[in-house]
Amino acid sequence: MITLTPDDVKKRFGQLFSKKFLVMVDERSGMAEIIEQCHARGTIEWDAMNRRRAGGAVTSCDVEGSSMTIHAKLGKHPVNFGAASDTIGGQALEAVNVNGAEVITTWMGIAGAGVGVAACLPQAPGVIRAEYPTEEDLKIGGARTNRVHIVSPRYEKVCFGIDDTDTKTEGATWVMALKCAQACTIEGVEFLNMRLIQLNPEVPNKTTNCVGSALNFAVLPEKVVELQQYIRTFVEGHTFSPDTGIACYRGIGFSQNSAAFKGVKTDIMTLVQAEGEAQKLGITFLDRNGKKGRIGALGAVLWGNRGIEAAGLYGEHI
């Protein structure tokens, strides 16, 4: 095994194009979420199509601009290309394994795709080291096959739902939520994205738009409690409403479906119903109010990672 740091990889192959590499793990669900960013959209699109086609540990790939999000299964899984496919190339994620505070992802690439996994990805910010099985795996380009194990920190995914921080005359929940994320300076915490979740606009007791906000973070496990305390302190210190709700979910996806996914957008849900659904799904409430804002906070967490449809009315698509 040949072990190289990202700087070693740069010295050997020159500065290439990967700008970010981050892996979040949910061992309870047996899933991982991998975020990559490149200098150009074209390479990300090509990688996404090839990895999805090759199978292996990959279950889905999403592309936004020059960034890609991969959902993958933990463990080692067979890929759908090998020596017989040398003439067409290919790229695959073969395995995702947890080793204490580290995650080891195993990659294979043929021809030009081998350059991507052997020389480009291992020098991305976020990589700790790359382990090459043999010297042959360090010979890139042509019709060669390359393999590499990329080692990175083990992150968790944590989603916060926030609602009812404004009144008819003051505030906007999405503004306060985004300010909260931008002000977070906890080492080992990376802000991923923010979503606005359209809730049921027909509920009688609401501000004008009836919209909750979701904040997604990648977090080192030992920093989760500190982040939760920070979010609660910031939100409760900047809210204009006595009914503010703050919900939190640690994980990638939910273990079961729930009528609440539709209900928060179409029904008039009670606080008792919201708290019951949250308990079933492993969602906790961080606020100390215990009031109606928890309903929208629950809805924000439920839809915080379900795509652009979160911003629309139920069943609305672009």
**Per-residue model confidence as pLDDT tens for the chain (318 residues):** 999 999 999 999 999 999 999 999 999 999 999 999 999 999 999 999 999 989 999 999 999 999 999 999 999 999 886 544 555 558 899 999 999 999 999 999 887 788 889 999 999 999 999 999 999 988 887 778 889 999 999 999 999 999 988 767 677 899 999 999 999 999 999 999 999 999 998 887 766 678 999 999 999 999 999 999 999 999 999 998 898 999 999 999 988 788 899 999 999 999 999 999 999 999 999 999 888 899 999 999 999 999 899 999 999 888
Report the pLDDT value the prediction gives residue 14, as an integer from 0 to 100: 95
Q: Can you read off the two tokens belonging to residue 31?
A: 């899933």
d(CA 244, CA 282): 20
Q: Among the three residues 91, 123, 154, which one is the final residue of a domain in this structure?
A: 154
Please list the residues that pair with 129 across neighbouring strands: 151
CB 292 within 8 Å of CB 163: no
SS (H, E, C) 165-204: CCCCCCCCHHHHHHHHHHHCCCCCEEEEEEEEEECCCCCC
Owning domain of residue 189: 164-311
125 & 16 share domain: yes
78 & 189 share domain: no
Of 40, 135, 1, 31, nearest to 93 (Cα)? 31
Q: Give me the sign of the Cα torsion angle 264, 267, 268, 271.
A: negative
147 & 177 share domain: no
Report the pLDDT value the prediction gives residue 80, as an integer from 0 to 100: 83
Residue 139 identity: K
Query: Is residue 258 domain-resident?
Result: yes
CB 108 within 8 Å of CB 145: yes
d(CA 111, CA 143): 4
Query: Is residue 317 domain-resident?
Result: no
146 & 171 share domain: no
Query: Is residue 159 domain-resident?
Result: no
Stated pTM of the model? 0.92
**136-143: long-range contacts, CB 8 A cutoff, minimum separation 24:** 137/2, 138/2, 138/12, 140/13, 140/114, 140/115, 141/111, 141/112, 141/114, 141/115, 142/111, 143/86, 143/87, 143/110, 143/111
36 & 78 share domain: yes
185 & 293 share domain: yes
Question: Which residues have a Cβ under 8 Å from the Cβ of 257 and sit 6 or more positions away?
Answer: none
Query: Is residue 102 domain-resident?
Result: yes
24 & 66 share domain: yes
CB 117 within 8 Å of CB 99: no
Residues in the chain, total: 318
Q: What is the CATH number of the domain that holds 254?
A: 3.30.70.2200
The alpha-helical segments, DSSP class H, found in the chain are 6-13, 41-54, 112-115, 173-183, 224-238, 260-266, 271-281, 293-303
183 & 243 share domain: yes
